[in-house]
């Protein structure tokens, strides 16, 4: 359904936190408790925490722009919020494609500390019956997963994330995407095929942490041989500076080429500190230079080695790390 059919988006006179914002205390608390779920959903749909926060703010604005009588007539406010947020995300994804065509270098999803929780199966409907159609929340937040999602169409992405990740039935997905349940099923199937084609077997968390620790030590000591040993022969490194700071404009391919690039980075930034952190629910590295967070690195693993290395340097995407 087109978002133009939604209520007037003119900002209301009151905010969600105002005492007379439309619902008694318990109702207001329940409504605002949906914010975490909506952020979780919107981040996976958009790959940007900043955009997700904007979407959720707009969703609540639309709720409070309605007359009190219309709010009271909505039997399931949580479902209404999810439906509106999903439609806004669909619009944002469509416009984002055009913006990213002019983006300087590669566009990577915004890395986040730890993980973003959600509530699969709640607020939307029953659980997905087929295990092949089920994606864990941890898996759905990894950089590898989000990067592949970028290759799907907006409608495919919304249908897949809502159904396979958050377990909304296709009847409810159809209300958001504006297509029939059968069409939404096909959209999810198409997205699933892309992900399955790109998916590698997930390394155990402890093994991944050891690999990242070995890479960190080799990098800090400028040991090219040790770096090559921890990287897959056909490893690929991708950087995102957004045209704001220097970063790789083209991917670097091959273990030795990546190892030498990492050492050059260290030579150009003496005093650089490399820290082990959980990034998008997986072991990662954060680079601090001159007291500020300069980059966040996430990894994809294959056969006990680093197969993909994603480095985000765009300062606009490092906001969640400024308090690190």
Compute the C-alpha angle 108/212/117, nearest 5°.
55
Give, as one character, the DSSP assignment of residue 250.
Answer: S
| Nearest in space to 49 (alpha carbons), one of 316, 230, 322, 242 | 316
CA 289 to chain centre: 25
In this predicted structure, what is the pLDDT of residue 135? Answer: 75
Q: Look at the chain and count its residues.
A: 324
In this predicted structure, what is the pLDDT of residue 62? Answer: 97
Tens-binned pLDDT, residue by residue, of the chain (324 aa)? 333 333 333 333 323 333 333 434 456 777 888 999 999 999 999 999 999 999 999 999 999 999 999 999 999 999 999 999 999 999 999 988 778 777 888 999 999 998 777 666 444 444 455 655 667 788 899 999 999 999 999 999 999 999 999 999 999 999 999 999 999 999 999 999 998 888 766 667 789 999 999 999 999 999 999 999 999 999 999 999 998 888 888 999 999 999 999 999 999 988 999 999 999 999 999 999 999 999 999 999 999 999 999 999 999 999 999 865
Please name the CATH architecture into which domain 205-321 falls: Roll (3.10)
Give residue limits of the domains in the chain. Answer: 3-198, 205-321
pTM: 0.84
Burial class (CB in 10 A: 0-12, 13-18, 19+), 199: middle
What interhelical angle do 170-177 and 181-198 show, nearest 10? 100
Round to whole Å and give the CA distance between 61 and 167.
26
**Cβ neighbours, 10 Å, residue 210:** 15
Max Cα separation, the chain?
A: 69
In this predicted structure, what is the pLDDT of residue 322? Answer: 83
For residue 137 the two structure tokens come to 């929340």
Are 65 and 7 within 8 A, CB to CB? yes
Give 273's contacts (C-beta < 8 A, 6+ positions apart): 287, 288, 289
């Amino acid at each position: 359904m087109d978002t133009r059919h939604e209520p007037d988006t003119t900002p209301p006179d009151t905010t969600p936190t105002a005492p007379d914002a439309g619902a008694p205390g318990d109702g207001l608390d329940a409504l605002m408790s949906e914010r975490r779920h909506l952020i979780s959903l919107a981040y996976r749909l958009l790959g940007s925490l900043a955009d997700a926060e904007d979407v959720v703010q707009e969703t609540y604005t639309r709720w409070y722009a309605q007359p009190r009588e219309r709010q009271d007539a909505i039997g399931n406010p949580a479902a209404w919020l999810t439906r509106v947020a999903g439609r806004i995300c669909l619009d944002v994804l469509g416009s984002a494609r055009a913006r990213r065509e002019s983006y300087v270098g590669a566009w990577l999803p915004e890395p986040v500390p730890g993980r973003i929780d959600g509530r699969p199966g709640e607020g939307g409907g029953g659980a997905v019956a087929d295990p092949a159609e089920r994606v864990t929340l941890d898996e759905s937040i990894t950089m590898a997963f989000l990067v592949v999602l970028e290759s799907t169409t907006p409608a495919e992405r919304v249908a897949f994330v809502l159904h396979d990740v958050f377990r909304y039935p296709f009847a409810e997905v159809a209300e958001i995407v504006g297509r029939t349940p059968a069409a939404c099923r096909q959209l999810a199937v198409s997205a699933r095929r892309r992900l399955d084609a790109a998916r590698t077997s997930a390394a155990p968390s402890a093994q991944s942490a050891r690999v990242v620790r070995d890479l960190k030590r080799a990098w800090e000591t400028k040991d090219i041989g040790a770096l090559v040993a921890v990287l897959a022969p056909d490893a690929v490194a991708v950087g995102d500076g957004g045209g704001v700071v220097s970063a790789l404009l083209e991917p670097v391919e091959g273990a030795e080429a990546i190892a030498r690039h990492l050492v050059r980075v260290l030579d150009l930034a003496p005093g650089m500190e490399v820290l082990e952190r959980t990034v998008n629910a997986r072991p990662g590295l954060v680079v601090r230079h001159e007291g500020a967070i300069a980059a966040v690195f996430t990894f994809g693993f294959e056969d006990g080695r680093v197969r993909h290395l994603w480095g985000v340097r765009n300062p606009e995407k490092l906001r969640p790390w400024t308090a690190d």
